[in-house]
Structure 1
């Protein structure tokens, strides 16, 4: 790639994840404090991510892969997304907010595949080149959190009481409009499939890879992947409201430590894979979820604030060691024939079905431990995902038989 294309792809990734991190992290806090949403309603809003993940293959398979250039669809989706974000900025009750966030996530989730497709289309060696472009997405997410906490102070006690968190939607609307327009300048990425080719819904959803479940080890991994998304949903939905409610300063900015650790542990993953193998690496990721939630349960913003920071910093192990390792394992088990289908199936099962169940459970439990003064019994709430992650860890350790998996970067 020449320097111009590297810049274009890196800026595209930066904005793509700046947009996601610029509102999704503080969503739970905004809904609870500014729209008076309960746990069930907050769960409903977060579940739009899962519905977007479930619907995304249809948008990609039926439209993006067949009729239009990927960069043009990316531009249109983000321009419409900018409009929906601006609408979210202006509403003052959950009933009006929900249709906009649902529509937005149905449009946004397909863009995650589109930015990857546009990037891969320009790379001669994606294994070496993609990570150097993708890392700018993580930087974008970090910058969004730092702006919210340290530049505009929107998540400070004063900012939240004055309703300033709604400004995150305006910020993201502007960024989405910029990316929408910028997308039309990106390198051309034409459709990959002839529009006359027969549509195979099963292939789009990854169902062709279901035969891999006949392998007992892969079946165990598949079930564990769905189940581990339940404790994951607690983090996405409750971490920012929890930190804000207990009085942690600049909570959104501090949560960017999780993305920083994600980059660091991504670099360490090849070493762990080579030294300890797939099973021990993925078990470390599962155990990290339990440790993280125990730290949240017993930490506080005073003398034990370090426990909260460590809990956030464990995000790199939680995500990379489980999900990235899982993607590598899936790629190895599937082989060339079912590679794309298998990855699609895992994505549908985790970010679709698994997270959908997880958000619902997290909402129910959060509402159960809501006190009369509108605060929560957070210690009890965090013990649920800690225990659930521990059960998944033990089941995987006992049932999954160790096998050699080659790390492919």
Structure 2
């Protein structure tokens, strides 16, 4: 090849390299943005849960306050049936979990006796489904016996190495309450024996003690929100008209000693056409409130606002790992409902009767204790507790609610947020015409 031809070849080769580089650069610059990587959880979380290494005779004791008529401590009895769903899900893969249940009689002594009985039965851990003094007494009794204990619905009297709370702290609830009241300048507190939230500075306060009944309290609240006129005084002229409050309240914080009394007060306020948001910081997300409000023909609407972590059915609508975990839990509820042989915790009623209320918090407490025992390969309570202290869980481990970190006594890692009532049937639980139509969603319900 002569020098001239060699030069042409070199020039052509160089041009080809330049063109190739330009094409690569163009493709790179015009490539679509890479989609976010999916969660490190399968696209579908299986209903059946495996627990390799779980001892054959593993059991978790449950402490409850028996009753459904408003006894203190019974607020979550139906919600606690989520524990049955967890046991059934493990059972589908051959890991048998039993849930012996004891009544704390609604007293501290009864709680201690219940824990003693469960310890004698050889449980490897305890789930305390009660609230109030008896729940704290049960947790303390379990600690003294070396039993790991989880409280989904109450806080322990003091943090310990064997006691965990999986619900929100009082401080986090107060912070979320501040979010719910953001922009409200004239808050009216209406109370029927409930605690006054520390983060609420009401412009006005009404308590039941100042009225003959709940109806009178609600009427005065409606006047102070500007939804009702104040009647003329007794000595006013016959043709005098009522007057409207000059600076009406723009939100009402409603507090009551029990969920049942809270429902009565909410219904009374609704009957007086109170139109401002009704903020319900405590007790509103319990099954007891939902059933009581339904019995009173109260309305579940976005006007009702409460505080809760992301443990409600609406989470299943999320396109993420937790949404899939919640969907699997709800599928477990449907399967358990379809089997009339599956009973509730007290073994006196089919699970299907409480399927509408079984919640993620009790379910996830059982999942955590089972996972800890399987890792330890033992049903020895001390080994189960030591194992649990090293673990954290998410939907990949079978949780339906937010992630839990048991290296700390307050295991819940997510913060509670304002949630809004809705009567919409999400179609995620078995149809039950007797169940109350109330779900809590993390955004205002559509009108």
TM-score, L = length of structure 1: 0.24
TM-score, L = length of structure 2: 0.23
Larger radius of gyration: 2
Structure number with the bigger relative contact order (C-alpha 8 A, sep ≥ 6) is: 1
Q: Which has the higher helix share?
A: 1
Q: Which has the higher strand share?
A: 2
